[in-house]
Amino acid sequence: MSDSPVKIAINGAAGRMGRQLLAAVAERPDTIVSAAVDAPGQPSIGVDTSVLSGGEATGVVVSDSLQDILSSAASDFDTIIDFSAPKVTLALLDTLKGSGKRVVIGTTGFNPAELDSLYNAAEQMPVVFAANYSIGVTVALSLLRQAAMALGDDYDVEISEAHHHHKVDAPSGTALAMGHAVADALNRDLDQCAVYAREGITGARDPKSIGFATVRAGDIIGEHTVLYAGNGERLEITHKATDRMTFARGAVRAAHWLSTQADGLYDMTHVLGIANLESAK
């Protein structure tokens, strides 16, 4: 393995996560920002990335064209990190086909057809795709599977999540990932058993349903709780994020790990080295 730093590109560099990602890359001596992209017409275009991250000057300016970066040796990169929107992410993957680049995706809100497109693209390039890049959330997902298998159908499952008022999708990608983790462990299909809203006379709870509750308020970075409620006891597994840098650091860690991987779709269990433990359950 080369001792050279991994070269990272940031898509959506001036966004909330983009700025955090720039700062997270700067924390690690084994990674550097070599390219940054933002949407055409944004005030960040042509600006040194240090203006966005608050760090020292990098000499890397924000571009409005990924295609221009790909054709410029001066802006070459190994892996691009993308926290944007589904259509933007899919366009990015299409642009990168055949380029030999790697992609870390933190975008949420994909519909089933968009997910199929993402999975197809990952057959032609190395991709890490996770709903949440927090190390703690990845561990929590493993714990949720263990709890669901041990408790079985005797416990009702409810998932609640809270985020800031800027978040546009609900439930959060992390809440859905938690729902899938529980449903898979219980041999259920989340598409069939999920309940996303309750109002009026709903009747008794279906014992095999998995309920979701969503809060959007203020500047909440991210809070998730999975409740297993049985007769006489409750078990709650909760994760609370207090700093958006948690996600940025996890994504940069994923990008560094991905730099040595073959084509295919990976998630944070692969990055943390616990994928084999998960598949054995």
Give the pLDDT of residue 2.
55
255 and 144 fall within a common domain: no
Tokens at residue 152, please? 């079985």
**Quick count: other Cβ atoms within 10 Å of Cβ 242?**
10
* Domain of residue 210, CATH code: 3.30.360.10
Give the span between the Cα atoms of 117 and 99, in whole angstroms. 18
| Same domain, yes or no: 188 and 268 | no
* CA distances for 120 relative to 73, 78, 116, 127, angstroms: 28, 20, 6, 11
Flag whether 179 is in a domain. Answer: yes
Using left for φ > 0, alpha for ψ between -120 and 50, and beta otherwise, residue 57 falls in: beta
Model pTM? 0.81
**Residues 7, 101, 164, 167: which is the catalytic one?**
167
Interhelix angle for 135-151 vs 173-185, to 10°? 30
Would you state the structure tokens that stand for residue 52, as one six-digit string? 């966005």
Contact 23, 53 (CB under 8 A): yes
Q: Say whether both 81 and 96 belong to one domain.
A: yes
Number of domains in the chain: 2
pLDDT at 278: 55
β-sheet with 62-63: strand ranges across: 62-63, 31-37, 6-11, 79-82, 102-105, 126-129, 264-266
Q: How many alpha carbons fall within 13 Å on the CB side of residue 157?
A: 30
180 catalytic per annotation: no
In a shared domain, residues 227 and 251: no
Mean pLDDT per 10-residue segment, the chain (281 residues): 83 93 94 94 92 86 91 84 95 94 94 96 96 93 96 98 95 95 98 96 96 98 97 98 93 96 95 70 44
What tokens appear for 56 in the block?
């020292």
Alpha helices in the chain (DSSP H): 16-27, 49-53, 66-70, 86-96, 112-121, 135-151, 173-185, 190-193, 245-258, 268-272, 275-279
Q: Is residue 1 part of a domain?
A: no
- Residue 281 CA to residue 217 CA, distance in Å, equals 37
pLDDT at 1 (0 to 100): 45
Residues 19 and 124 in one domain: yes
Domain CATH number, residue 257: 3.40.50.720
124 shares its domain with 250: yes
Active-site residue identified among 163, 180, 224, 270:
163
Same domain, 83 and 54: yes
pLDDT at 280: 41
Residue 167: active-site member: yes
Structural domain that includes position 200:
135-241
CA distance 30 to 214: 38
- β-bridge partners, 228: 157, 235
